[in-house]
């Protein structure tokens, strides 16, 4: 077993909860996230990621993959298709049960999911926003997105874009078992898109109609379920703890007996507190043998496992950890954003205190002046060398203070300044984003200095 180590970041002050609009605006202005199809008026709950957004997403995904798959001898990865046989969704229960129940306020016309309402609002049919009367009979909507395979009318097969990514793991379980020498206990991990016709999309990336999930399904002997459940629960909590500044905004919430699926003995959500309140970030689920049993029943394939030593034959039990790339992206931006007052009463400094592991740009290379050929050529060669290892940005436009600010706003953890002393003694200034402290380093030590700080461990 491997544990993700706790790492210490430069301490960031306790700052107030950030309004989502601040992050929406920065995301658009600096190229993290754009509304999808904006020139046509946009589509609710669907977003595109810009040049910085895609770098940050890739970092988040790669860190997840590194710690879950590469750093665990007993976990392998897959990448499944987003369209599957329609029977999959009958077996999984989604065709029948993947529904949201919605009530409307007769006065302010807002719509609410019944599972998001406080019990007293539900019982008294009272709108939590305006106090108006809510409709009594909830309308029921299935969240699966339908699509059709085939072109000839009459021969077309109705199926669904996957409503949750993890189903591919159950579908590929037997193939993985036969093709990759894994033995129970082992896990299959995947990152991939999922689609839901959410009836209340909103809050930026929090609830989208197309989004990306990361899942681990860990297959165990029933007698070892407790041990592995606890292992993954702690592991996933530490994983999130590592990435955030405000550790006190992370907690576990245990599901009450009324929320538990019939097969689950327990379930915990990792929750994070933002202006939206405490919200689920990831679920750690006790799935028992529900999924493999259902797929065995519906497909007619026996998915039981035979222990190679004892020859015991049994249906494996599953620990699931299921979270979202987009919700991680949003929570990390909300956790990192700060408008820091300037001690001299000038414009506040907008800074993203992103962990260097996930920051989209790792280093900015800044020659002090752009009209001095020697400064520029030295800076360009340092930049070229660093690009082999990390995302580096070269910038020689505007004064150095303005350039620092530009990088702070996108969370670049280090700025390297090339000045006249560099030409004399081959050293550069490295400025750190959060504390704005500066040190002088020989160019020959720069790559290792940065790699040590921007590479996960
Ligand atoms: P909710 O009750 O909020 O609808 P859920 O319990 O159905 O969520 P899961 O099916 O457990 O969510 O999905 C696992 C993870 O996928 C969630 O923890 C979240 O990070 C992410 N996720 C789920 N739905 C969405 C969505 N519509 N937009 C963005 N991320 C989502």
Ligand 1 atom 18: the closest Cα is on which residue? 282
Atom of ligand 1 lying closest to residue 322 CA: 14
**Residue 196: CB within 6 Å of ligand 1?**
yes
Instruction: Identify the architecture of domain 20-83+153-335 in CATH.
Output: 2-Layer Sandwich (3.30)
Q: How far is the CA of 74 from the centre of ligand 1 (A)?
A: 26
Atom of ligand 1 lying closest to residue 280 CA: 18
Ligand 1, from 99, 162, 261, 280: best to mutate by most atoms within 8 Å of Cβ?
Answer: 280
**Residue 211: CB within 6 Å of ligand 1?**
yes
Atom of ligand 1 lying closest to residue 213 CA: 16
Which residues in the chain are classed under CATH 3.30.930.10?
A: 20-83+153-335
Ligand 1 atom 1: the closest Cα is on which residue? 280
Ligand 1, from 45, 199, 211, 237: best to mutate by most atoms within 8 Å of Cβ?
Answer: 211
Q: What is the pLDDT of residue 11?
A: 54
Q: What is the pLDDT of residue 346?
A: 87
Q: What is the pLDDT of residue 12?
A: 67
Using a 10 angstrom Cβ sphere, with 0-12 exposed, 13-18 middle and 19 or more buried, the burial of residue 12 is: middle
Q: How far is the CA of 324 from the centre of ligand 1 (A)?
A: 7
**Residue 45: CB within 6 Å of ligand 1?**
no
**Residue 322: CB within 6 Å of ligand 1?**
yes
Which residues in the chain are classed under CATH 3.40.50.800?
A: 361-454
Q: What is the pLDDT of residue 4?
A: 43
DSSP-assigned states of every residue in 344-413: TSSSPEEEE---TTT-S--EEEEES-SS-HHHHHHHHHHHHHHTTTS-EEE--SS-HHHHHHHHHHTT--
Contact 214, 324 (CB under 8 A): yes
pLDDT digits (tens), the chain, 457 positions: 444 444 444 456 778 899 999 999 999 999 999 999 999 999 999 999 999 999 999 999 999 999 999 999 999 999 999 999 999 999 999 999 999 999 999 999 998 999 889 989 999 999 999 999 999 999 999 999 999 998 888 888 999 999 999 999 999 999 999 999 899 999 999 999 999 999 888 899 999 999 999 999 999 999 999 999 999 999 999 999 999 999 999 999 999 998 999 999 999 999 999 999 999 999 999 999 999 999 999 999 999 999 999 999 999 999 999 999 999 999 999 999 999 998 888 889 999 999 999 999 999 999 999 999 999 999 999 999 999 999 999 999 989 999 999 999 999 999 999 999 999 999 999 999 999 999 999 999 999 999 999 999 8
Ligand 1 atom 29: the closest Cα is on which residue? 207
**At the topology level of CATH, where does 361-454 sit?**
Rossmann fold (3.40.50)
Model confidence, pTM: 0.93
Q: What is the pLDDT of residue 3?
A: 43
**Residue 92: CB within 6 Å of ligand 1?**
no
Tokens 């976990």 map to which residue? 75
Q: What is the pLDDT of residue 2?
A: 42
């Amino acid at each position: 077993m491997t544990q993700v180590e706790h790492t210490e970041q430069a301490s960031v002050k306790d700052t107030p909860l950030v309004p989502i609009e601040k992050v929406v605006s920065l995301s658009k202005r600096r190229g993290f996230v754009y509304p999808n199809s904006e020139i046509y008026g946009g589509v609710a709950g669907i977003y595109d990621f810009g040049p910085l957004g895609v770098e940050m997403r890739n970092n988040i995904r790669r860190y997840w993959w590194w710690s879950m798959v590469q750093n665990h001898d007993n976990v392998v990865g897959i990448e499944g298709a987003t369209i599957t046989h329609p029977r999959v969704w009958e077996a999984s229960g989604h065709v029948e049960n993947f529904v949201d129940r919605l009530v409307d306020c007769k006065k302010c016309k807002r719509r609410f999911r019944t599972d998001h309402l406080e019990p007293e609002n539900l019982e008294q049919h009272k709108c939590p926003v305006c106090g108006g009367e809510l409709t009594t009979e909830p309308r029921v909507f299935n969240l699966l997105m339908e699509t059709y395979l085939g072109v000839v009318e009459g021969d077309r097969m109705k199926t669904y874009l996957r409503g949750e990514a993890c189903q591919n793991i159950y579908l590929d379980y037997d193939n993985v078992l036969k093709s990759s020498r894994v033995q129970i206990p082992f896990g299959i991990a995947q990152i991939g898109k999922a689609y839901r016709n959410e009836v209340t999309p909103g809050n930026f990336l929090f609830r989208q109609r197309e989004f990306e999930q990361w899942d681990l399904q860990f297959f165990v002997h029933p007698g070892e379920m407790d041990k592995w459940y606890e292992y993954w629960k702690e592991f996933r909590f530490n994983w999130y703890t590592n990435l955030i500044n405000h550790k006190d905004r992370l907690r576990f919430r245990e599901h009450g007996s009324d929320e538990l699926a019939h097969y689950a003995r327990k379930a915990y959500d990792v929750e994070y507190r933002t202006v939206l309140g405490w919200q689920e970030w990831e679920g750690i689920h006790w799935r028992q043998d529900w999924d493999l049993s259902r797929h065995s029943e519906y497909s007619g394939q026996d998915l039981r496992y035979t222990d190679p030593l004892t020859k015991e034959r049994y249906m494996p039990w599953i620990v699931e950890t299921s979270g979202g790339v987009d919700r991680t992206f949003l929570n990390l931006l909300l956790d990192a954003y700060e408008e820091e007052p300037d001690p001299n009463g000038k414009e506040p400094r907008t800074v993203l205190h992103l962990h260097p592991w996930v920051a989209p740009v790792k280093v900015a290379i800044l020659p002090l002046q752009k009209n001095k050929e020697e400064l520029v050529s030295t800076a360009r060669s340092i930049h070229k060398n660093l690009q082999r290892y990390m995302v580096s940005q070269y910038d020689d436009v505007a004064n150095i203070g303005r350039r620092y600010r530009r990088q702070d706003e996108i969370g670049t953890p280090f700025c390297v300044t090339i000045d006249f002393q560099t030409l004399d003694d081959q050293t550069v200034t490295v400025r750190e984003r959060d504390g704005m402290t500066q040190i002088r380093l020989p160019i020959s030590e720069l790559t290792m200095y940065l790699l040590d700080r921007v590479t996960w461990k």
